[in-house]
Amino acid sequence: MKERAPTSNPNLDPFSIAQLVWRDEGMAILRQRDLHAGMSRATRFQVWDALVAGIPDLADLRGAVRQALKARASWPGG
């Protein structure tokens, strides 16, 4: 079987990227960017929506989510 070369996905969905973080991690990202006003009782879906709306630059959103994932102290298999 021939292996194909890796390529970038041109159709990334910002909401799907936001869904990679837990609610608390999403809230931390919102707090860092001062986007957390009125979000104290927000559901995880509302937090994800706020991340997508508050960080419109896809590269910036990906970077914030990546940092949150790397910062997880205890993760199965990690």
How many folded domains does the chain comprise? 1
In this predicted structure, what is the pLDDT of residue 74? 76
Q: Within a domain: residue 75?
A: no
| pLDDT for residue 77 | 53
**Confidence (pLDDT) at 76:** 67
* Residue-wise pLDDT tens digits, 26-78: 999 999 999 999 999 999 999 999 999 999 999 999 999 999 999 988 776 55
Least Cα distance to 34 among 58, 54, 60 occurs for: 54
Amino acid at 19: Q
Task: Decide if 56 is inside a domain.
Answer: yes
- Domain hosting residue 23, numbered range: 14-70
| Element housing 35 (H / E) | none
What would the mean pLDDT of 4-16 be, rounded to a whole number?
A: 94
For tokens 């990690």, the residue is 78
pLDDT greater at residue 73 or residue 9? 9
DSSP states along 40-67? TT--HHHHHHHHHHH---HHHHHHHHHH
Nearest to 54 by CA among 13, 21, 18, 9: 18
